[in-house]
Amino acid sequence: MANKKIFAFSIRKDEEPYVKEWDEQHPEVDVEYTDELLTPETAAKAKGADGVVVYQQLDYKAETLQALADMGITKMSLRNVGVDNIDMDKAKELGFEITNVPVYSPNAIAEHAAIQTARILRQTKALDEKIDKGDLRWAPTIGREVRDQVVGVVGTGHIGRVYMQIMEGFGAKVIAYDKFENPELKKQGYYVDSIDDLYKQADVISLHVPAVPENVNMINDDTIAEMKDDAVIVNCSRGALVDTDAVVKALDSGKLFGFVMDTYEDEVGVFNEDWRDKKFPDDRLWDLMHRSNVLVTPHTAFYTTHAVRNMVIKAFDNNNEMIDGKEPETPVKVG
């Protein structure tokens, strides 16, 4: 007999089996859900719930949090990592307890970054475009081998470390920078002294850090100028890390060999939408999508069955723990 209730917002079709799996394993919890996003208007759907499980790129703004709090709901569990879209001041004022899922599958993102790194070096997009047109000549689409590259990894958390292993598997020389160094990696001599050293030495620069204020636009005109000619930038982390205009300039001038972008500073409302029969809303993104040396994916690095299952199950576990008054496994600092 259920004695508590969790309501989940914006449940996608691919998440539904995992919601049902969790529900079946927790007869003591009444689980309800909708495919709608959490907004001030839809919040009422959660009436009577003890907590909510959510994921969206749309802001959790003050009015939304207020609407939940007005119904006595202040336990909110995110199915993702990023918390930059939550009005934390309001959340604090209303006494919200929030959890996220910081580690759902580092391999999902690291693998995607590694695949795209190898693809950009082998110029696979340019080659596919030629093949599509019936041009089967080799030149000038010659590849660069991963083992010949110095791969610079910015951020050596869970994802950065898996990416390092994969790149080493390909035979690359890996160097790293992180403000918070991992003792094991330090012992093994991966770290360069400064991020500028990494920019100067690396052929491939892959970003695996959060978009905290100090990291915003870390890739800009000045830092690109420090990089080697023909460098490659890989951003499967957060769009805000990259000044996209600076990258476009560097692609135009030929300074950069290529750019991998799974995240984009203006992606909200554009990625994960079908634009086939509509006017595409972002000319700069459209231009990047159609360059042979730019690989755009719409924030899908995370999107694997393994990751999605973990995101759902861990978020529900967290919410349930908060409802039971226990310390959840992965609380978010509110405020």
40 — phi, psi (to 5°)? -55, -30
Nearer to ligand COI, 82 or 331 (CB): 82
**Whole-number Å distance between alpha carbons of 231 and 293:** 12
For residues 179 and 219, give the distance between their C-alpha atoms in angstroms, rounded to a whole number: 16
What is the distance between the alpha carbons of residues 320 and 168, in angstroms, rounded to a whole number?
A: 40
Q: Which is nearer to ligand COI, 111 or 203 (CB)?
A: 111
Active site (annotated) includes residue 267: yes
For ligand COI, which residue of 7, 191, 264, 302 counts as binding (CB under 6 A)?
302
Quote the CA–CA distance of 326 and 321 in Å, as a whole number: 5
Q: Closest by alpha carbon to 219, among 229, 205, 230, 203?
A: 205
Active site includes 238?
Answer: yes
Bridge partners of 86, per DSSP, are 60
10 binds ligand COI (CB under 6 A): no
1-9, 31-39, 77-85, 319-327 -> range binding ligand COI (CB under 6 A) = 77-85
Angle between helices 106-121 and 158-169 (to 10 degrees): 40
Establish if 81 lies at the interface with ligand COI (CB under 6 A).
Answer: yes
CB 284 within 8 A of CB 264: no
Distance CA 161, CA 180 (A): 13
In the window 21-50, what residues touch ligand COI (CB under 6 A)? Answer: none
Residue 53: half-sphere exposure toward Cβ, Cα within 13 Å: 33
Residue among 208 and 299 whose Cβ is closer to ligand COI: 299
Tell whether residue 316 is a contact of ligand COI (CB under 6 A): no
Per CB under 6 A, the list member of 112, 299, 309, 314 interacting with ligand COI is: 299
Q: Is 157 in the site for ligand COI (CB under 6 A)?
A: no
The residue among 161 and 299 lying less far from ligand COI, judged by its C-beta, is: 299
Q: What minimum distance in Å lies between the beta carbon of 253 and ligand COI?
A: 30
* Closer to ligand COI by Cβ: residue 293 or 300: 300
Burial of 197 (0-12, 13-18, 19+ CB in 10 A): middle
* Cβ pair 77, 99 in contact under 8 A: yes
Catalytic residue among 111, 267, 309, 321: 267
> For residues 141 and 237, which CB has a smaller minimum distance to ligand COI in the complex?
237
Options 238, 265, 309, 321, the catalytic residue: 238
* Phi/psi-derived region of residue 19, left when phi > 0, alpha when psi is between -120 and 50, beta in every other case: alpha
Interaction between residue 80 and ligand COI (CB under 6 A): yes
Please give the residue whose beta carbon sits closest to ligand COI in the complex: 80
Strands 331-332 and 97-99: antiparallel
Judged by CB under 6 A, which stretch of 29-37, 76-84, 224-232, 289-297 contacts ligand COI? 76-84
- Minimum separation from the CB atom of position 299 to ligand COI (A): 5
Q: Which residues are catalytic?
A: 238, 267, 299
Catalog residues that contact ligand COI under the rule CB under 6 A: 55, 80-82, 299, 302
